[in-house]
Amino acid sequence: MQFEALAQQYKTPLYVYDFDGITSQYEALKNAFKARKSLICYAVKANSNLSVIRHLAQLGSGCDCVSIGEVKRALKAGVPPYKIIFSGVGKRDEEIKEALECGILMLNLESEAEMYRVETIATSLGEVARISIRVNPNIDPKTHPYISTGLHENKFGVDLDTAKRLYIHAKHSAALDPVGIHFHIGSQITELEPFYEAAKVVSDLVRNLKALDIELKFFDVGGGLGIKYSEEETINPYNYAQVILNTLKGLDVTLVCEPGRFLVGNCGYFLTRVLYEKTNAGKRFVVVDGAMNDLIRPSLYQAYHHVELLDGKGEETPADIVGPVCESGDFFAKNIMLPLTQHNDVLVIHSAGAYGFTMSSNYNTRGRAAEVAVEAGQSRLIRVREDFETMIALEEACL
Helix (H, G, I), strand (E, B) or coil at 258: coil
The mean per-residue pLDDT over the stretch 323-337 comes to: 97
Percentage of residues of the chain with pLDDT beyond 90 = 90
Question: Given pLDDT bands bounded at 50, 70 and 90, which one contains residue 332?
Answer: very high
Q: Name the region of 222 (left: φ>0; alpha: ψ -120 to 50; beta: rest).
A: left
Q: Which of 382, 348, 376 is nearest to 47 (CA)?
A: 382
What distance lies between CA 367 and its chain's CA centroid? 22
Q: Which of 65, 102, 267, 326 is catalytic?
A: 326
* Interval 16-75: pLDDT, tens: 999 999 999 999 999 999 989 999 999 999 999 999 999 999 999 999 999 999 999 999
> What is the pLDDT at residue 140?
66
The H helix count followed by the E strand count for the chain is: 12, 17
Residue 326 falls in the annotated catalytic set: yes
The pLDDT of residue 150 is above 80: no
* Interval 270-281: pLDDT, tens: 999 999 999 999
Taking domain 33-259, whether its CATH number is 3.30.300.30 is answered by no
Asked if residues 69 and 100 have their Cβ atoms less than 8 Å apart, the reply is: no
pTM metric for this prediction: 0.94
Q: Detail the DSSP E strand segments found in the chain.
A: 14-18, 38-43, 62-65, 84-86, 106-109, 129-134, 176-182, 218-220, 254-257, 268-280, 283-288, 307-309, 316-322, 331-339, 346-349, 370-375, 378-383
Distance from C-alpha of 182 to C-alpha of 149, rounded to nearest angstrom = 12
Q: How far is CA 155 from CA 20, 151, 393, in A?
A: 36, 9, 36
* Interval 238-280: pLDDT, tens: 999 999 999 999 999 999 999 999 999 999 999 999 999 999 9
CATH class, range 3-14+266-396: mainly beta
> What is the pLDDT at residue 155?
59
Side chain identity, residue 248: L
Return binding residues: 224, 258-261, 297, 301, 327, 355
* Interval 183-222: pLDDT, tens: 998 888 999 998 999 999 999 999 999 999 999 999 999 9
Distance from C-alpha of 282 to C-alpha of 284, rounded to nearest angstrom = 6
Please provide the DSSP assignment of 279-338 as one string. EETTEEEEEES--TTT--HHHHH-----EEETT--S-EEEEEEE-SSSSTT-EEEEEEEE
Return binding residues for substrate: 261, 297, 301, 327, 355
Locate CATH 2.40.37.10 in the chain.
3-14+266-396
Indicate the range of 165-169, 193-197, 236-240, 285-289 predicted with least confidence.
193-197
Q: Report the chain's mean pLDDT, rounded to a whole number.
A: 94
Asked if residues 274 and 304 have their Cβ atoms less than 8 Å apart, the reply is: no
The pLDDT of residue 144 is above 60: no
Distance from C-alpha of 29 to C-alpha of 249, rounded to nearest angstrom = 20
> What is the pLDDT at residue 100?
98
Q: Which of 85, 86, 84, 66 is nearest to 75 (CA)?
A: 84
* Interval 95-137: pLDDT, tens: 999 999 999 999 999 999 999 999 999 999 999 999 999 998 8
> What is the pLDDT at residue 137?
86
Locate CATH 3.20.20.10 in the chain.
33-259
The mean per-residue pLDDT over the stretch 228-242 comes to: 94
Distance from C-alpha of 63 to C-alpha of 275, rounded to nearest angstrom = 39
The mean per-residue pLDDT over the stretch 155-175 comes to: 93
Q: How far is CA 113 from CA 15, 96, 183, in A?
A: 40, 13, 18
> What is the pLDDT at residue 312?
87
